[in-house]
Amino acid sequence: MTKPDASRYALVCLTIVTVLLAVVLVGFALGAALLYPQAVRYAQRMHQELATTRAETQELRRHLQALHASEERLSQEAAKRQLRLGRELDAQASQTLAQLATLEERRQRLGAEPGANPLAKLDTLIGLTRLLADELLLLNRHLLLSQHELAAGIRPSPAPSSKR
């Protein structure tokens, strides 16, 4: 047997390495050719999902902005309503105070002691009865107006219509 030549041995090794590299390169090319359409479809699907997500996010942002605007509007309406009710109650209290002052003046005019004759006593009694009736009417009117204001204060605000 003859001893293989070193150059021939190197040539065989180089050929084997070249063939193996060619097989690997052909495998990569074949794999890329077969997987490329799937990768493109996957990228398109991801792009569509991203576009859908962006559209939904924009819609949710618009809805959130509408809710913030509605919240601000309702807050302003509630503040205006509170101010109006406060002014109405203040006006009612001022009117009641004026009416009480008028009743107090009437009471003082009637005098602490009735006159000596029976007609003067009867006149004082009738005046006191009228004064008591006026005080009761004032009390009932004040109670009625307070109940109306309380009902208006606790009545819920109209709900905004949903645009969604």
Q: Residues of the chain with pLDDT > 90: what percent?
A: 31
Contact 85, 149 (CB under 8 A): yes
Of the two residues 18 and 104, the one the predictor is more confident about is 18
Q: Residues of the chain with pLDDT > 70: what percent?
A: 90
**How much is the pTM?**
0.51
The two tokens of residue 147 are 């109940």
Q: Give CA–CA dist 153/109, Å, rounded.
A: 40
Q: How many CA atoms lie within 13 A of 162 on its CB side?
A: 1
Q: Mean pLDDT score of the chain, rounded to an integer? A: 85
The confidence band for 158, taking pLDDT boundaries of 50, 70 and 90, is: low
Contact 157, 74 (CB under 8 A): yes
Of the two residues 158 and 83, the one the predictor is more confident about is 83
Q: Give CA–CA dist 79/67, Å, rounded.
A: 18
What's the Rg (C-alpha) of the chain?
Answer: 49
The confidence band for 84, taking pLDDT boundaries of 50, 70 and 90, is: confident
Q: Which of 108-117, 124-133, 145-154 has the highest mean pLDDT?
A: 124-133
With a cut of 70, say whether residue 14 has pLDDT above it: yes
With a cut of 80, say whether residue 55 has pLDDT above it: yes
Looking at residue 159, its pLDDT comes to 60
Assign 3-class secondary structure to the chain: CCCCCHHHHHHHHHHHHHHHHHHHHHHHHHHHHHHHHHHHHHHHHHHHHHHHHHHHHHHHHHHHHHHHHHHHHHHHHHHHHHHHHHHHHHHHHHHHHHHHHHHHHHHHHHCCCCCCCHHHHHHHHHHHHHHHHHHHHHHHHHHHHHHHHHHHHHCCCCCCCCCC
- Please report, for the chain, the start and end positions of each structural domain, with discontinuous segments joined by +: 37-154
Q: Which of 29-38, 47-56, 82-91 has the highest mean pLDDT?
A: 47-56
